[in-house]
Amino acid sequence: MKKVTTWLAGAAAAALCTTFAPAQAGAGNHPHQCDMVGRWIEPQENWLFVADYVLADNGSDTFKGVFNNPAAGAVANITGAVLAGTWSIKFVYTDSGHPHWMRLLTGTGTFNKSTKTITVNGNDILKKNGVQTATGTFSMTGTCRAL
């Protein structure tokens, strides 16, 4: 049952990241730039990225950025979507040390409009060459500024 739940969570994350691809700022959208700090809980690794975040009046926020984990020598392109407090994030690794790696993150969190801060906690699935090789948990915070 746990494998089915994990698979379904990963499939939902991939679907949301594809469906809610980062939007361009326009009518009803409010662009921000966010300094994000995250942590893979189990290996106790910290990571960071800068995200172009679009806060949408319709509630379907999107973001994109480039992940950097100096401890692991890893770099990845990130796309994400937020809908009703559910965060779906996709990391596609681009560095030579992590070929064909992808992480699918799903979590719950908030973008606090008054303080322009983000908090998210959830689960991640690591895939190598399209095959799930690990699962874990993550936490992420961010500080944003309107553009």
Render pLDDT for 29-69 as a digit per residue (tens, 0 to 9): 999 999 999 999 999 988 899 999 999 999 899 999 998 88
Domains, the chain: 2-146 (2.40.128.30)
Phi then psi for residue 62, to 5 deg, are: -140, 160
Tell me the average pLDDT across 117-132. Answer: 98
> Per residue, what are the HEC states of the chain?
CHHHHHHHHHHHHHHHHHHCCCCCCCCCEEEEEEEEEEEECCCCEEEEEEEEEEEECCCEEEEEEEEEECCCCEEEEEEEEEECCEEEEEEEECCCCCCCEEEEEEEEEEEECCCCEEEEEEEEEEEECCEEEEEEEEEEEEEEEEC
Does residue 6 register a pLDDT over 90?
Answer: no
pLDDT of residue 26: 52
For 96, phi then psi, to 5°, come to -70, -20
Confidence band of 27 (pLDDT split at 50, 70, 90): low
pLDDT of amino acid 59: 87
Which of residues 9 and 85 earns the better pLDDT score? 85
Single pTM value for the model: 0.80
pLDDT value of position 22 = 46
The Cα 6–Cα 124 span in angstroms is 9
Half-sphere exposure of 86 (CA within 13 A, CB side): 12
Q: Is the pLDDT of residue 70 over 90?
A: no
Q: Calculate mean pLDDT across residues 106-128.
A: 97
Q: How many CB atoms lie within 10 A of CB 85?
A: 12
pLDDT confidence bin for 14, thresholds 50/70/90:
very low
The dihedral sign for the CA sequence 59, 12, 141, 146: negative
Instruction: Compute the residue count for the chain.
Output: 147
Q: What percentage of the chain exceeds 70 in pLDDT?
A: 82
